[in-house]
Amino acid sequence: MSQSKFRTAGLWLSAVVLAAGVLFSAQSFQTAPRRIKSISKKQNDLKELYALQEVALIEQAAVRKFEELASSHPCSLKDLAGSHRADIRQRENLSLAGGWTLHRTEVVFSEIPFEAAGRFVKNSGECRPPWRVTECLFAASQRAEQAGTVTLILEALEKTGGEK
């Protein structure tokens, strides 16, 4: 008789374990789509973070390369103008994050051949660090062809201190 008690207890225990397994499977079946959606969203978020990390690494490499330039001070616009008469006025210097300064300068050439003004712009962009033209105004001369007054607003970055 004691064997039948063990057998009955074993059957009940098996039935309870089977019922628990069926309930757990049913609950897993119901929650699986929600969990799959959550995992998918996390994967997409992770892909976006990796893409942002790549952009950040590229930007950091560009900043490092800029900081390694031979000169951190923009070249002289007066020297670039050479023999052409230029009115050069410093407009503003803006302190930026990380020890950077933005120099904004106005250059006005009177009665300059437009070709010479183009060479000036080309040469200013080849400086290290480069000057960038942000505004440009050409006014034709009454006295000479392909010449006139050229007004340029140029900007350049300079590493003046802070983090490296």
Q: Which domain holds residue 13?
A: 1-68
Percentage of residues of the chain with pLDDT beyond 90: 38
For residues 94-98, average pLDDT: 84
pTM: 0.56
Cβ(106)–Cβ(151) under 8 Å?
Answer: yes
How high is the pLDDT of residue 98?
A: 75
Residue 164 lies in a domain: no
Cβ(105)–Cβ(90) under 8 Å?
Answer: yes
Q: Are strands 147-159 and 100-113 parallel, antiparallel or unpaired?
A: antiparallel
Shared domain for 142 and 86, answered yes or no, is yes
Given 23, 43, 68, the domain boundary residue is: 68
Mean pLDDT for all residues in the chain: 87
For residues 24-52, average pLDDT: 90
For residues 11-21, average pLDDT: 88
Given 68, 85, 104, the domain boundary residue is: 68
How many independent structural domains does the chain possess?
Answer: 2
